[in-house]
Amino acid sequence: MAETNGNFFEDFHPGLTLKHAIPRTVTEGDQSLYVALTGDRRPLHCASTFAQRLGFRRETVHDLLVFHMVFGKSVGDISLNAVANLGYAELVFLKSVYPGDTLRAESRVLGVKQNSSGKTGIVWVETTGLNQDDEAVLRYVRWVMVHKRDTASPAPVASPPKTKSALSVDELVIPAGFKAPVGELYETGSARFFEDYEAGQSLAHAGGMTIEDADHMSATRLYQNTAKVHFDGHGMSESRFGRRLMYGGHVMSVCHALAFGGLENAVGIAGFNGRSEERRVGKECRSRW
């Protein structure tokens, strides 16, 4: 590989802690651009009056925008030389973020495992997003396939960590100051509440959205996600994929926006149990409870 910036598989070992560069102050403009790129319609993130009615001091930054910006901070150290991001686990949102807050990120390497080809390896990290007061706003584990710098270098001792298949209720955080609204929630346009859902129920959300290359490129720039697999069309044309890969997190955001119809009165995201993989095409958005 011609460029050697960023870390390669050999640079990681369990216990390594990385404080990622370039903190980011989140603005109202970032929030508006996120809405433009995803079509999100949740009033908590675009109406200060509604947010204040729920006990927040103003509209909050969308949970997934917070996630993407924290994720983007980690790319330069963790996945600049990635083949693909493979999954997430134990993602929990810990504190509301407001326009004007400044986000930064730290990661700790949990484990590594070289792949049988000897050309790549998998790195597991736990990343924490923090605000300007050093308060954790979210935390998650992810695993990513990273190129080796030298395929002849010896394989490290395999140390894949065990991740939880699901978060416990005790790990989920109710936003500070949240209060249940009184009266009709006309702002959301829906009369469906907690009692109208049950475990195992499936919701097929109406509508769809075609993601254009321009949308994806604008989104990854907004998130400051500079992974080569997303940015370098020329370099990726020579890869086994033949083109850039779409950042899977942006697919998550579009699907979350499409899921508004049917989940209009959801307050926010408490955490993720599932896994997300890189996709070039998103086909359908479906929620399962």
Q: For 129-174, what is each residue's pLDDT tens digit?
A: 999 999 999 999 999 999 999 999 999 999 999 999 899 999 999 9
162-171 contact pairs (CB < 8 A, 24+): 163/89, 163/90, 163/124, 164/89, 164/90, 165/89, 165/273, 166/273, 167/90, 167/92, 167/270, 167/271, 167/272, 167/273, 171/92, 171/271
At a CB cut-off of 8 Å and minimum separation 6, what does 132 contact?
Answer: 101, 102
Average pLDDT for runs of 10 along the chain of length 289:
75 97 97 96 95 96 97 94 90 97 98 96 98 98 96 95 92 93 88 92 90 88 88 84 87 94 94 61 44
**Residue 14: its pLDDT value, please?**
97
The radius of gyration of the chain from alpha carbons, rounded to an integer in Å, stands at 19
From CA 288, how far away is CA 45, in angstroms rounded? Answer: 24
**Residue 277: its pLDDT value, please?**
47
- Please say whether the beta carbons of 90 and 113 come within 8 A: no
**Residue 275: its pLDDT value, please?**
60
**Residue 212: its pLDDT value, please?**
86
**Residue 285: its pLDDT value, please?**
46
**Residue 230: its pLDDT value, please?**
84
